[in-house]
Structure 1
Amino acid sequence: MHKQISEENVRLLGRCRMAEDGIVFNWTGSGILFRFYGTAAAIMLEHSEPNLAEWIPFLSVRVDGGEVRRVGVGNSALLPLCMDLPCGEHVVSVTKSSETGTYPLKIKFLQISAGEQQEAKLLPPPELPLRRIEFVGDSITCGFGNLGTAEQTSFLTAEEDGGQSYAGLAAAHFNADSRMICFSGRGIVHNCDGTTDSLIPQFYEKVLANEPDKWDFSKWQPDVVVINAGTNDDGGGYTSGDEMREGAAQFLKRVRECNPNAHILWCYGLMTTRLEPVIQEAVALAAETDDKIHYLALTPIALAQGEVGTCGHPNVRAHRRAAAALIQKISEITGW
């Protein structure tokens, strides 16, 4: 049985765009959550990413709160999510595990079945958690290379899992409805290669990173916004201290305008630390008139053992450590 998708019969996870023929999504952790009566479910997935093994999108599929199954999607196809389940009610989530790419994905419809003796039904979707956390950042937030090893020197989507990034782990700890607005190589003032297109403050305001449509912040207001940025401004060496201080101050101002009541927490230091003093200055200045703005220093992976993954990025062990520090800080400022 085919079922067209709408905001009435599925829950949208993360920033997504409704199209006439489905749901378009691409941010890390974005996708859908649905509930059905039956024994099996699948989605018709459409995408036009280059069909290269190292770049194929990866999805995370979870059924009835069980173990997460990661699936690489090489082509547009009918993708089985679960099968041979006991006939009854089941809850399924499908989210993007790898980061935003050049082209978005589209779920065109659901296919559900219940065997020969029963009728499959798409049921009202579950309610989302009340707590809301938004994560904004670069490759660290994406989980770039967190499944890889220090010897791996090229990016593979198979080695990137946003669900096991510090952001995904912290969101899971708090059972929070989360958004991960992140893109590798991007900075506040300059990207890692010195360019100034698709900077974090620019894509933060978009529905999808590579489309022009602006996000309507009134649709979803977080309790906490976590910013993890400055690594690419630092690592590329193109951003001066003065530029970073001003860039951070302006971004904090804009994030506050978009989220009037949220705690805003800037964390930094997992990979680089050169710009930490000026980021701290920008945060401290903003906090003088806004007691919901905070800073969290993260210990660099270079000072720890066994925490380096692909291309010098944090591995899962490092992300777990960072998540623990973040969880403690969020608990302190929110009382959760």
Structure 2
Amino acid sequence: MSISTTPRLFAMTMIAVVAFTGTPQLAAAATGDGSPADSNIKYFGRWDTRSSSAYVSEWAGAYVLIGFTGTKVKLKQRNAIDFFASVDGGPDVSYKNVSGTVDLTPAPLPSGTHTVRVSYRPVAGSYHGDAVFRGVALDAGARTVAPKMPSRIIEFVGDSITVGQLSSKQALTAYGWLVGERLGAGHTQIAVGGACLYPAADGCIGMSSRFLKTGLAADAPNWNFSKYQANAVVINLGTNDVGHSVTSAQFRDAYVTLLHNARAKYPSATIYALQNFRKRYVTETQAAVKSVTDAGDAKVRYLNTDGWINEATDTVDKVHPNDAGHRKIADRLAPLLG
């Protein structure tokens, strides 16, 4: 989820509103001890849990939510990383280039039960931080507790606009995060800068198939979609494909593939195809929607985004929304998902 600030990394976004049904954990999880496999620790987004001592999320917008007792909480890191942490619903505090055991409560909290949320800066572009969660350290005698969970999760999948590239806090000031927070939902952004919809011959990541993966690489493990089930999906794709010589037919067919993949993994979801903000491949997007609805999928719809943002005032570089632009998108999108 970090991202290159190169303006040429354009945008696409896909969003999924999901119902939380589980959290990655190992059978031998030591509940309450603060280790990554502790079943009281809740993971939002796609986390690679193959190592019991180090959980990794490569997509933007993933975070971990932890309830705990005591007066202190410290994050266990490996090598240097940037991240944001919010304690008890407070502001997201920025930690830059930190490693080892990081104290998130320099002033002790009152005795009682608390929560902490941690979101890592994603590794992408020229940024190579070590986004590895190794658990938390608490006061002697303190333990983790299961935090209150939202009734649904919103999953945003896309590229640099979904990441929040060039906004002040990247994923945290991107419209996906804002929509989730506004609706009181869990949320994550399955996104990386520069991605395409169609897997172009020059190597551009094709989200029509990469949507199925736990991480960024083509050989990453397939994601276990039983971790949560989407009940709404909103797709906004196509800004980058133009720069990779993707043809009209290739784009349309890749869009149909993504719609089919989303439907296969989220059988009950309503799927919204969002007109991308650069108005690229609009006819092809509409054709893809018509193809699946004509085939009998009545829960796929097209969303017109004309007028949502102003290129001159609401973007940093005529492509990537600034903070105000992301807020305007969230203002339009949140009511549609509410």
1:184, CA displacement in angstroms?
0.8
Highest RCO, 1 vs 2 (Cα 8 Å, sep ≥ 6): 2
Q: In structure 2, what is the equivalent of residue 273 of structure 1?
A: 279
> Could you tell me which amino acid in structure 2 is paired with residue 231 of structure 1?
T
Q: Are positions 1:15 and 2:22 aligned together? A: no
Alpha carbons 1:39, 1:85 under 8 Å: kept: yes
Q: 2:271 aligns with which of 241, 264, 283?
A: 264
**Separation of aligned partners in 2, 1:237 and 1:212:** 23
- 2:118 aligned with 1:94: yes
Partner secondary structure for residue 223 of structure 1: strand
Q: Which 4+ residue blocks in structure 1 deviate beyond 3 angstroms?
A: 97-104, 299-305
Alignment match, 2:164: 143
Gaps in structure 2 of 5+ consecutive residues: 1-31
Are 1:230 and 2:223 counterparts? no
Structure 1 segment 171-186 matched on structure 2, within 5 A: 171-186=180-195
Partner in structure 2 of residue 53 of structure 1? none
Contact 1:263 1:293 in 2 (8 A): yes
Contact 1:307 1:314 in 2 (8 A): yes
TM-score under structure 2 length normalisation: 0.81
Question: What is the TM-score when the length of structure 1 is the normalising length?
Answer: 0.81
Say what the alpha-carbon RMSD is for the aligned residues: 2.5
Structure 1 position 3, deviation (Å): 3.9
Contact 1:99 1:162 in 2 (8 A): no
* Partner residue, 2:132: 106
1:305 is displaced (CA, Å) by: 4.3
Which residue of the partner structure matches residue 323 of structure 2? Answer: 316
Return the alpha-carbon distance in structure 2 between the equivalents of residues 91 and 246 of structure 1. 45
CA deviation string 1:71-97 (max 9, x = no partner): 22x253222222322222111010124
Change (3 A) 1:216 1:248: same
Task: Provide the identity percentage.
Answer: 26
The residue that corresponds to 1:334 in the other structure is none
Counterpart of 2:156, as a letter, is: F
- Number of the residue aligned with 2:153: 132
Q: Which residue of 1 aligns with 2:27?
A: none
3-state DSSP class of the match of 2:246?
coil
Write the distance in 1 (CA, Å) between the matches of 2:181 and 2:248. Answer: 35
Q: Deviations over 1:47-67 (max 9, x none)?
A: 47xxxxxxxx53221111111
Instruction: Flag the 1:143–1:100 CA change in 2: closer, same or farther, 3 A.
Output: same
Against the structure 1 CA distance between its residues 97 and 212, is the aligned structure 2 distance closer, same or farther, given a 3 Å change threshold?
closer
Query: Hey, what does 1:245 align to over in structure 2?
Result: 252
Q: What are the ranges of 5 or more consecutive residues in structure 1 without an aligned counterpart?
A: 49-56, 114-118, 148-159, 332-336
Alignment of 1:43-54 (within 5 A): 43-47=75-79
Match of 1:204 among 211, 220, 227: 211
Q: Distance in 2 between matches of 1:201 and 1:280?
A: 16
Change (3 A) 1:22 1:9: farther
